[in-house]
Each structure stands twice: as structure tokens, then as C-alpha cells.
Amino acid sequence: MGWTARERRILAGLRTPAHIQQYLDELDYDEEGGADSPRSVMRTGKAQCFSGVLFACAALRELGHPPRLMYMDAASDDGHCLALYERGGLWGAIAKSNFTTLRSREAIYPYLALGLSYFDGFPSPLLSSWSHSNPAAGGSATESFSTSIGPSTALQKRGYCLAGASEN
């Protein structure tokens, strides 16, 4: 992308995923925002969930990571979007949110566990349905996983064993 000199200076200062998260955390939350571009985020100093993830994907791309995002949908809450990165086969995430429990994760999770690490962070205790997409990169199709009985039980039924989950 043809960044301006100012944009290149901003991106050059973001040398790690943690730096990108810190940059997003320092931005004002854009209550009216939508799908604002990374350029708009840098110009206005504001972002919301989706525009923050678009910015994070662009910044991660500058670090050599493919731009990937995950969308988590919830029946009784707003959905949430994450910018993903992979390091050594493990996944991490960057996100813009007013809720600290819905922000970044270090790259220490298998893919499904990364998504599940956000489950308890949703502000509503009435979360009845949860789904996420596989990492989308370069316009590839995504498969969705969803459940109305909670992710732990559904994943066990699919043959995954979670830490602390009983095996049958």
C-alpha cells in the first residue's frame, strides 16, 4: 500500500503485536464508526471494533504477517472482530474494544482455544449462542462453528478435548 510519510512513521513505530495493541488502546473509541480504513484510523485517531481490526491487519501485514481476521457472533450480545497472527503454530489476536477482556491475546493458543478464550469476556451473562469463523486471509472462504449449548460441550462432541473438560 502507498502509505504517506506520516502513516509510515506511525507503522514503523509498531514493531510487535503488543505495540499495535497499545496503539489501538490509546485511540478514542469511535461510537459512530463503521468500516473505516486504516488510513482513516490513523488520520482521526479513532476506531471501533471493526475499523480497529482493519488497522491491526494492515499493521500486522507490515510486520510480515498475512492479514487475517476472525469474527465472533453472539445471539444476545454484539459480535466481536479480531485481527489474528500466528507464531510457531500458535495463535494470538489484537482487538479494539471498550471491554479489556475482549482485547489482545498473546500467541500461545491453538486456534480453537484462542476463540474460546474470549467466551467469558462477553459482557452479557446470557450468552446463549456463540460462533466464530476460521481465519480468513486473502478472500478465502471460511467455515463457521456455532453452538447453542456452549462451546465446551460442542467441541467435545467434535472430538476436541479442552483443558479441564472431562473425557468420555
Per residue in 7-61, pLDDT (tens digit) is: 999 999 999 999 999 999 999 999 887 789 999 999 999 999 899 999 999 999 9
- Residue 69 covered by a domain: yes
- Residue 163 covered by a domain: no
- Residue 54 covered by a domain: yes
Q: How far is CA 159 from CA 46, 112, 131, 165, in A?
A: 42, 12, 17, 12
The strand pair at 144-147 and 130-133 is best described as antiparallel
- Residue 162 covered by a domain: no
- Residue 89 covered by a domain: yes
Cell numbers at 87, concatenated: 507464531
pTM above 0.85, yes or no: no
- Residue 113 covered by a domain: yes
- Residue 43 covered by a domain: yes
Per-residue b or e along 34-69, where b marks 16 or more CB atoms closer than 10 Å to that residue's CB: eebebbbbbeeebbbbbbbbbbbbbbbbbeebebbb
- Domain of residue 54, residue span: 5-157
Per residue in 122-158, pLDDT (tens digit) is: 665 544 444 555 555 543 333 333 333 344 343 333 3
Q: CATH number, domain at 80?
A: 3.10.620
- Residue 34 covered by a domain: yes
Tally of domains in the chain: 1
